[in-house]
Amino acid sequence: MRGIAPGRRNWTFAGSLRGADRAAIVLTMITTCRLNDVDPKAWLADVLARIADFPTSRLHELLPWEWKLLRQAGNSDDQQAA
């Protein structure tokens, strides 16, 4: 994913204030993934595939740092079973 350079009129193409807000949220989540050593594409694909059937009380598990910990725990369980 290509980075966004703030201050270069990137927000002119958001279309509306709501569009700019959504873009800011998505960019914040992508940056959060990168800061937590999570692949943003893998995280986003997994979250979008699972979020519709996911219980509201467990939504915190889909945050990048929690998602990474659950993936690592799942991988270590798979390795121990083999």
Q: What pLDDT sits at residue 24?
A: 83
The alpha helices in the chain, defined as continuous H runs, are: 17-35, 40-50, 64-81
What is the model's pTM?
Answer: 0.71
| pLDDT tens for each residue of 17-73 | 888 888 888 889 999 999 999 999 999 999 999 999 999 999 999 999 999 998 888
Which residue has better confidence, 35 or 10? 35
Write 40-49 long-range contacts (CB < 8 A, 24+).
40/1, 41/1, 43/67
Q: What pLDDT sits at residue 23?
A: 83
Look at the block and give the residue holding tokens 């799942």.
Answer: 74
